Amino acid sequence: MILKETAIIGIWIIIGAVALGGFDALGLLSPHEAGLASAIEVDLPEVYRIWREKEAIFVDSRPSAAFKRTHIPGAVNVPLGTLKQVADTLSRLSIGRDESVILYCSGAHCPNAHQLMFLFLRLGYRNVRVFSRGLEIWKVLGYPLEKDGRNGRRS
């Protein structure tokens, strides 16, 4: 009986933690548990400077239809998918494993960029960072946008 009550209390503690802090409060969706967050995150105004100076390839991790509607100018689209799908897309785009890459998604609540980062790392890419606040904050600040279906790199 005590074991059953302890298990029930434990479940309620977990449910409470999720309700108060969101699912990621348990560290199940983010790279923070691995101590990688400070090394992989890039934010404003640094990300805008990097884009303006063309110091990295910007990769939009959203589905192709969303990318075609609007994206950061010069970004390429690598939708989140299986390791093989991502590898195939990267080989078509000719992104080298040593190139500086910044991944982004629609906004702070979209996990695609972080999930895609782990696939990039598994494929041997070494200089990968995530712009967590993504396209949402980019738009709010009035930064440039492209609204076409091209999937090429800025020259």
Beta bridge mates, 41: 130
For the domain covering 36-140, report its CATH number: 3.40.250.10
Residue type, 155: S
pTM over 0.75: no
The whole-angstrom separation of Cα 43 and Cα 131 is 6
Under 8 Å between Cβ of 86 and 116:
yes
Domain ranges of the chain: 1-30, 36-140
Count of other CB atoms within 10 angstroms of residue 91: 10
Provide the residue-wise pLDDT of the chain in tens; the chain has 155 residues: 666 665 555 555 555 444 444 444 444 444 444 444 445 899 999 999 999 999 999 999 999 999 999 999 999 999 999 999 999 999 999 999 999 999 999 999 999 999 999 999 999 998 999 999 999 999 999 999 998 755 444 43
Residue labelled with tokens 């960029």 = 113
Under 8 Å between Cβ of 120 and 92:
no
Q: Strand 128-131's sheet: what is its strand order?
A: 76-77, 57-60, 101-104, 128-131
